[in-house]
Structure 1
Amino acid sequence: MMKMYLVVIVVALLNVVSHSQILIDESYDDWNDVVLYNDPIGDGSNFGDDFTAFQVTNDDEYLYFRIELRDEILLQEDNRINIYIDTDNNANTGTIQAGIGAEIGFEFGDRRGFIRNGNATNTIFHNDIGITVLPSLSSKIFEFALSRTYFAGGTQFIDGTIAVACKDNRSGGDIIPNSATDRLYTLVDNNNPTLPKFDFLKVGNGFRMMTYNSLFDGLFEFGQSQQQRRMIKAMDADIYTFVEIYDFNSGSIVDIIEDETGYTDWDHASEGSDTHVVSKYPIKDHTNIDGNGAYILDYEGNDMLIIVAHLPAGSNDESRQAEVDKIAAFIRDAKLGLNEFQLATNAPILITGDMNLYGNKRQRETLTTGDIINNNAYGPDASPDWDGTPLTAALPFASGLPQAVTWINPNSSFFPGRLDYTFYSDHTLDLTNTFCLNTNDMEDADLEVLGLNRNDSRSASDHLPVITDFEIIEPNRQRDLTLEDINTRVFPNPTTNLLHIDSKTEISSIIITDVMGEVVFKSNNIDKENTINATEWNSGIYLIQLTTIKGIVTEKMFKF
């Protein structure tokens, strides 16, 4: 792991800490070692948004920010929250905002901002400064990345000591950090982003699924078709699901997939106006759920339910919620044998597609938990997985980026976001690999091996292909326990020196071995919070074995 240093000037004192690579993924453990600025509740306007916490850090390519608010909001609409950056730390240049001379400002609710260059001020949009924000849904916590390279009378690079602040631009609006000293931040270089690991080739002996929004019949449009064909061939999936193919049936899709893959025994079906499944496994049945498609596949002699969803787009929370309520009710009834599908016990369940989950986070919660909003219309709540737990959402990162985004459109005012999902029953499915195919930021060698061109993914559609590899968990074997199962965190991972193991479950022993099996650490004296000094360990992969009252968990750890 590379070292990062966050410099906060307080009189003559410098605080220097190393921390994990920041990933824009709605998971915030990687911020644990970044300096946190807290803000009093209620210190801004009664009519504005109230900040409660702020963090900033960087690597060689991005500035990263994390903000917390008192109330849940949608960051891309209906607010006056701005980020301001004084790139030269000079209040006499730039535009005076939040007590700094900002060369860059961006208002999230308006989805536009400015760049100040000398006496000229130019309007900018997210693509001009590379802003990415997650979650795309409503939340009290947001993290966002901003490119350190931008154009203002020439290519500029954010470096050295800068001043940064978030401000609500309503009258009397809140500002964070409050102190002018705390607004100073010194960037540290030689921190190349450590990107998430995945495999472009299928992992395991199960099946690969590619989920894709083809963008208005793009698979059959000349320019888009060639690019989409190359991606279909490169991903070599066992199951392809499509939305936004309106004017062609699934048989026409099969013709293209056969041409590209050379495989000729595909089954296929369509439901609604635009959902399609093409599968190496027989499709036993299919039906419509308010425009979304439900498909039963025969996977090696067992049922598997795949729901391909294309929910309403835009600020249409009410219609999206109604559709996800219907999907949750359909799964409940299929498990109970109350509709035409009558799922076999422990049949794997997947919901996949372009969910357009932009707006109220409640829609995602319904899909995962089965908590229906309109019980009068759609019946009682029911946990969707067979063991009475929620479905799990795969977390695919865009290849070449430290960001879990599935939708990128530089010509839209909306930021890159997470709109496409694959939810799955982890009681019966083990996710072995996942990513979004983003050719624009891939290594040349990977493009060459896969037979792809750099502009394929973004020219073909504004949605990226979402790839998931699964293996079936046999009913007669127990799923391996995970850190989440035992309420335990192991961080940072990778590490360079100190390793922390914090657990809410009683741990009786910790054993850490290298890949050759040599024990480098062993202890039976375990607290809820444990710190292990790994400074002297060789760089490489280590296995952490935690013995608990729930069972044994083995976790892989990297030492740099």
Structure 2
Amino acid sequence: MSSVSKTLLFILLLLNSITVASQSAAITIDGLFDDWDSNLTTYIDTSESVTGIDLLELQVTNDEAFLYLKIKANIEFDLTDNLINQQVRLFIDTDNNTTTGYNIQEGYGSEIGIIFKDLYAHYNVTPYAQIDFASLKLRAAPTVTSNEFEIAIGRHQIPDGLNPLFTASTIKILLKNDANFDKLPNEGSTFSYTFDDTPVTPYSPIDITKSNTEQIRLLAYNTLSDGLIDVDRVAHFEQIIKALSPDIIGLTECWDTTAAQIKALFDSWLPLGTANGWYTEKLGGLITVSRWEIIEQWTSLTRQFPVLIDLPSSYATDLLFTNSHLHCCDADDSRQAEADQYAAFILDAKSPGGVITLEENTPFMYSGDLNLVGYAQQLITLKTGDIQDTATYGAGGPLDWDDTDLKEENCLQADLRMGYTWRSDDQGFPPGKLDYIIFSDYTLTAEKSFVLQTEVMPSDRLTEYNLNEFNTINASDHFPVITDFSIHDNLNIEQFQLTDSTIYPNPTTGVITIDLKALNTYQIQVLNTLGHVVLTKHIAATSTELNVAPLPSGLYIISIKNSEGHQVIHKLIKH
């Protein structure tokens, strides 16, 4: 090329170079995208016709720790797999110098070239290095197929141990799909971004203690190959579980662990002071643990273990909990069949007959390591009841009691703006969301949720909860996932009230009158929100007074049983 031609090309590149005013932002890598403001730096591709994945849009922002990018395409694909033919690659000129790095396209001297589906990157510095995603501190979501992905790359990384990644305040970014040669931006254009170091609102760490003792704390935890009976790891699990103090626990990968071993651990770690202690049941590698009695279980589902839990009378309802560990990795067909199976099970539970019939409006939860790393349809089925194999599992339909979708709880890290639940830096994949909590939001409200990763917690928080820095990484490659639930009042108390008794005054500070209408013998019990009986009285009368003044302020349940065993339940507020 002549010097005149080079000059003309340089002028053309200048004319087609796009630099938009940068804006820092507090981005959460959780696969939801609701925090990506339209005002953020955005490059929209020119209209074109390509076969396969068409790269449409790229957004960029940053905070002090990360560079954030959001990719949008015309169809769904898997960023780190080849389920839909793709060779999506991200190139960054990290020093804004066309004479250094790899000449990937006119106007770019790319220092970093990320090949997502091959799980590595070219680091085009001196000396050249092939690096893994962990060295870039690369985070991405979602882990399932989507037409949008959000990506974080650490700003202060030294990927090869010698050369810092970002050495200029302005960088150039190029996105390519080598499967069809689509580029964003196209030849003749460049896309620049300048870091904005305006501070963003700091992340507020989540208090990991339960805020209300009336709530039910669910813990989903993959123990990584029988970790709870591994002498080198069990002490880490002990610290974690003591700090979390859950009520119901779904443990997975307990292949050679017995239910009796888990019961012994929990009775030692979190003694309940009851005659039985903790209840444990096992199916395959799944062990379900509950502080309340497990009164029924179903064993016909593949890698899914539904049980019915007898909640205390303060809740006035049972609870259906399903512990799950769907097939891993490339087994998309198996995972879809398992999702179909669960949807059919819940639809059966909502209607009379079949293998299960629940009382109407029985709350239900579903959790575990779902291994959702392929097609998004599996998650869609679990939430919506959109069964794919209708010939085997039926027509499908809405799963919640009000014929709406179930809710997937967005459990974020307690100390990071991240939603990943699994991390194993030596396996190549970026940290991902594999563990889920899904529930009936017609009957339940998720009051608090989080993922615990002790390695990222500051020392004062570790001390506060009696944890050590490396507890979670030494216990498992999965992190404990927690949600605290409340049961809707109109379902668990008010719909069970009868009209043959009244209590007053309510709220009260001391003595209440219980008007029973009819002469009979009655057992009257006052229960706190944990279901513990704090006061009992037996009478043979039509009314009585009860002094609750010594009780602490709070919510109580008044249970009244007559000689025929008929029961009336009232809610009492003590000031």
Secondary structure, in 3 states, of the residue corresponding to 1:237?
A: coil
Q: CA deviation at 1:140?
A: 0.6
Which amino acid in 2 is paired with 1:226?
A
Taking the aligned partners of 2:270 and 2:198, their CA distance within structure 1 comes to 42
Taking the aligned partners of 1:141 and 1:105, their CA distance within structure 2 comes to 20
Taking the aligned partners of 1:98 and 1:407, their CA distance within structure 2 comes to 36
Question: Which residue among 300, 309, 312 is the counterpart of 2:312?
Answer: 300
1:358 maps onto 2:367 in alignment: no
Taking the aligned partners of 2:334 and 2:16, their CA distance within structure 1 comes to 55
Q: CA deviation at 1:222?
A: 1.7
Taking the aligned partners of 1:12 and 1:65, their CA distance within structure 2 comes to 19
Taking the aligned partners of 2:124 and 2:147, their CA distance within structure 1 comes to 30
Q: CA deviation at 1:387?
A: 0.8
Residue of structure 1 in register with 2:573 after alignment: none
1:383 maps onto 2:398 in alignment: yes
Question: Which residue among 42, 46, 55 is the counterpart of 1:36?
Answer: 42
Q: Which runs of 5+ in 1 are unaligned?
A: 1-8, 480-560
Taking the aligned partners of 1:13 and 1:127, their CA distance within structure 2 comes to 30
Compute the TM-score of the two structures, normalised by the length of structure 2: 0.77
Change (3 A) 1:124 1:15: closer
Question: Which residue among 262, 265, 268 is the counterpart of 1:253?
Answer: 262
Which amino acid in 2 is paired with 1:246?
W
Residue of structure 1 in register with 2:28 after alignment: 23
Aligned ranges 1:316-331 → 2 under 5 Å: 316-331=331-346
Q: Deviations over 1:481-535 (max 9, x none)?
A: xxxxxxxxxxxxxxxxxxxxxxxxxxxxxxxxxxxxxxxxxxxxxxxxxxxxxxx
Change (3 A) 1:66 1:277: same
* 8 Å CA contact 1:325, 1:378 repeated in 2: yes
Q: Which runs of 5+ in 2 are unaligned?
A: 1-13, 495-575
1:183 maps onto 2:191 in alignment: yes
Residue of structure 2 in register with 1:490 after alignment: none
Residue of structure 1 in register with 2:414 after alignment: 399
Change (3 A) 1:476 1:305: closer
CA RMSD, 1 decimal? 2.3
1:137 maps onto 2:144 in alignment: yes
Residue of structure 2 in register with 1:63 after alignment: 67
Residue of structure 2 in register with 1:239 after alignment: 248
Aligned ranges 1:437-452 → 2 under 5 Å: 437-452=452-467
* 8 Å CA contact 1:196, 1:402 repeated in 2: no
Taking the aligned partners of 2:426 and 2:281, their CA distance within structure 1 comes to 31
Which amino acid in 2 is paired with 1:401?
L
* 8 Å CA contact 1:271, 1:286 repeated in 2: no
* 8 Å CA contact 2:422, 2:478 repeated in 1: yes
Taking the aligned partners of 1:145 and 1:13, their CA distance within structure 2 comes to 22
Aligned ranges 1:64-463 → 2 under 5 Å: 64-78=68-82, 79-99=86-106, 100-118=108-126, 120-151=127-158, 152-154=160-162, 156=164, 158=166, 159-170=168-179, 173-178=181-186, 182-191=190-199, 194-195=202-203, 197-204=205-212, 205-265=214-274, 266-288=277-299, 289-301=301-313, 302-463=317-478
Which amino acid in 1 is paired with 2:392?
A
Residue of structure 2 in register with 1:50 after alignment: 54
Q: CA deviation at 1:14?
A: 7.4
Change (3 A) 1:256 1:153: closer
Secondary structure, in 3 states, of the residue corresponding to 2:426?
A: coil
Taking the aligned partners of 1:250 and 1:36, their CA distance within structure 2 comes to 53
Q: Which has the larger radius of gyration?
A: 2
Secondary structure, in 3 states, of the residue corresponding to 1:454?
A: coil
Which amino acid in 1 is paired with 2:271?
G
Q: Deviations over 1:406-444 (max 9, x none)?
A: 111101122211110000111110111001001111111
Secondary structure, in 3 states, of the residue corresponding to 2:209?
A: coil
Q: CA deviation at 1:290?
A: 1.6
Taking the aligned partners of 2:235 and 2:142, their CA distance within structure 1 comes to 32
* 8 Å CA contact 2:347, 2:399 repeated in 1: yes
Count, aligned residues: 467
Change (3 A) 1:11 1:39: closer
* 8 Å CA contact 1:133, 1:415 repeated in 2: yes
